[in-house]
Copies of this chain bind each other. A is one copy, B any other.
Amino acid sequence: MAFTPTLPACLKGNWTVAQKEAAGLAESLRECFPRTADQPAVRLEQSDAKPSDDRRPLNVGIVLSGGQAPGGHNVIAGVLDFLQARHPGSRLFGFLNGPRGIINQSAMEITPEKMAPFRNQGGFHMIASGRDKIESAEHLQKAAHTASVMQLDGLVVCGGDDSNTNAAVLAEYFLAHDISTGVIGVPKTIDADLKNDDVPISFGFDTASKVYSEMIGNIMIDAASAGKYYHFIRLMGRNASHITLECALQTHPQAALICEEVASHEYTLSDVTEQLADMVVARSAAGKEYGVALVPEGIIEHVPEVHVLIKELNELMAASPEMAENPAAVAEKLTPASAKVFELLPASIRLELLLERDPHGNVQVARIETEKLLLRLVEAELQKRRAAGSYSGKFQGLSHYFGYEGRCSMPTNFDATYCYSLGYAAGALIASGQTGLMTSVANLERPTTDWTVGGTPFTGMMCMERRNGKLKPVIQKALVDLHGPVFKAFKQQRDKWAIVDCYRSPGPIQFSDTGAYCATQTLALEINNGKPISIH
């Protein structure tokens, strides 16, 4: 509560808005975004000129979209403080329960008094979040109506790739319908799969990965102390494995699976199982019957053969739902390859897959507890090896899932400061009449005062992707780059970590930590292209 975020120098004093060159866009994108395709990137540059005369009051709306990420409240505080300081008499409205609040025109006015108890606090509960999308003609129309009726000068959208894709569409729609509401995005996601040259990190990733690393470190020390358990730990990350990679670099586990690597090598379930079993056997030979493995939740979906199995299961269940009660008969109806994968699965997981289908009758692969499945598979593989005489150790597995506990933690000092700057900058972009931009605060490896501030066009981050059979403009998820410096740093060390205990238990987040530092190993390695970075 007592923490006061500092601002980058350019936001403390006065600034001028400099334009950067627009990126050359593909024709298909240009067609979707005729009005925002040539939007230039902008940069707020520190200026000694006298303060701007434009102090007219503004009406600004803000919405939190999608999953929670630590620091969201400080984005709101940043916008509020910008408006209070630079445009007295302005009004800030928080749309309730995510984008649905815009559609329904359901908002709460945010005053300094209402803001106070939420500053530097975790969660999104001040105005809450939601996963609705403003995509249909009806919803776009309603959003435009809300913006007009509320006379909004700007709308700040805090969200991930999907929400910012929506924001891009909204910006274009508002321009096309002569609505003068600027739409400015803020990069939010603990998954860290929303980043690019101008946006080095999404907010929440630093805090969430530190919360998970605290827990993983504790469990490692427990593993080494008890000496008798293998802990398989599932972490968030359905598509990108940045969280798992960051936590691995923070804690040095025996193994960490990376979705991007599994997909790129087209590993089978057996491949992954055998890699893990090899590690267990090698450690057992060295007298160690314990260890820790990190598993991103999306790993199963990235195994190509599981993809095929799920597809076959869904078709089969659609045709004969009564078969759900009889897993043995199901196997007979699958192709031989899929039957083999299905029979690999432990009985209780097979049953759960068949019985607990979603409202459309589809198998819920996301409900599979990946870490448990792998634990069972490794157990079975080790039993085989024991029978063959190639393993004589003792394997006891325990499973964990760390996800929700990282999304609403109190933000680290980095996330608290970064979010406050993002909010303040988003306010500045709106005040200078910008739209169709994602707020960009960069140079994050330097002290806060040296951070750079600007906006980067949504359209420059987009490409056309086939979704549900149709080509759609989307902001691409930033996946783990298997040739990038972060994965490389992990790859160079993982064979050693597998056998030699190099555990690192970083402990709980400390708020007294006032020194500047680079948030996450991922960012440090990316900034310096893999070379060790010296942080002042």
Residues of A within 8 A of B (CB): 67-68, 97, 121-125, 128-129, 211, 214-215, 218-222, 224-227, 231, 347-348, 351-352, 355, 398, 400-401, 404-410, 505, 507-512
Q: Which B residues touch A218, using CB under 8 A?
A: 122, 211, 404-409
- Given contacts A123-B221, A512-B510, whether A129 and B226 have CB atoms under 8 Å apart is yes
Known interface pairs A219-B405, A398-B404; 18 further A-B residue pairs with C-beta atoms within 8 A, sorted by A's residue number: A122-B221, A122-B505, A124-B226, A125-B225, A128-B224, A214-B409, A215-B405, A218-B405, A219-B408, A220-B408, A222-B408, A348-B352, A351-B351, A400-B405, A409-B507, A508-B510, A510-B510, A510-B512
Cβ of A403 to closest chain B Cβ, rounded Å: 9
- Given contacts A351-B347, A400-B401, whether A410 and B508 have CB atoms under 8 Å apart is yes
Q: How far is the CA of A406 from the CA of B221 in the complex (A)?
A: 11
Cβ of A414 to closest chain B Cβ, rounded Å: 14
Cβ of A64 to closest chain B Cβ, rounded Å: 8
18 contacts between A and B (CB under 8 A): A67-B226, A121-B221, A122-B218, A122-B221, A123-B505, A124-B226, A129-B225, A214-B508, A218-B406, A218-B409, A219-B408, A220-B408, A222-B407, A351-B351, A410-B505, A410-B508, A508-B509, A512-B512
How many of these chains are in the complex? 2
Cβ of A397 to closest chain B Cβ, rounded Å: 12
Q: How far is the CA of A124 from the CA of B211 in the complex (A)?
A: 22
Q: Which B residues touch A352, using CB under 8 A?
A: 348
Contact across chains for A123 and B408 when beta carbons are under 8 A apart: no
Q: How far is the CA of A511 from the CA of B348 in the complex (A)?
A: 44
Q: Which B residues touch A227, using CB under 8 A?
A: 97, 128
Contact across chains for B226 and A68 when beta carbons are under 8 A apart: yes
Q: Which B residues touch A214, using CB under 8 A?
A: 409, 508
Q: How far is the CA of A409 from the CA of B505 in the complex (A)?
A: 9
Q: Which B residues touch A409, using CB under 8 A?
A: 214, 218, 507-508
Residue of B nearest to A503 (CB): B125
The residue among A128, A226, A508 with the most chain B CB atoms within 10 A of its own CB is A226
Q: How far is the CA of A214 from the CA of B214 in the complex (A)?
A: 11
Q: How far is the CA of A224 from the CA of B125 in the complex (A)?
A: 6
Contact across chains for B221 and A125 when beta carbons are under 8 A apart: yes
Q: How far is the CA of A124 from the CA of B224 in the complex (A)?
A: 8
Q: Which B residues touch A124, using CB under 8 A?
A: 225-226
Q: How far is the CA of A371 from the CA of B508 in the complex (A)?
A: 26
Contact across chains for A508 and B508 when beta carbons are under 8 A apart: yes
Q: Which B residues touch A220, using CB under 8 A?
A: 408
Contact across chains for A400 and B410 when beta carbons are under 8 A apart: no
Q: Which B residues touch A410, using CB under 8 A?
A: 505, 507-508
Q: How far is the CA of A267 from the CA of B488 in the complex (A)?
A: 56
Q: Which B residues touch A219, using CB under 8 A?
A: 404-405, 408
Cβ of A468 to closest chain B Cβ, rounded Å: 24
Q: Which B residues touch A398, using CB under 8 A?
A: 404
Cβ of A337 to closest chain B Cβ, rounded Å: 26
Cβ of A464 to closest chain B Cβ, rounded Å: 32
Q: How far is the CA of A510 from the CA of B401 in the complex (A)?
A: 24
Q: How far is the CA of A406 from the CA of B218 in the complex (A)?
A: 7
Q: How far is the CA of A364 from the CA of B57 in the complex (A)?
A: 67
Q: How far is the CA of A229 from the CA of B215 in the complex (A)?
A: 23
Cβ of A69 to closest chain B Cβ, rounded Å: 10
**The one of B222, B226, B401, B510 that contacts A511, using a Cβ cutoff of 8 Å:** B510
Q: How far is the CA of A187 from the CA of B67 in the complex (A)?
A: 43
Q: How far is the CA of A125 from the CA of B288 in the complex (A)?
A: 13
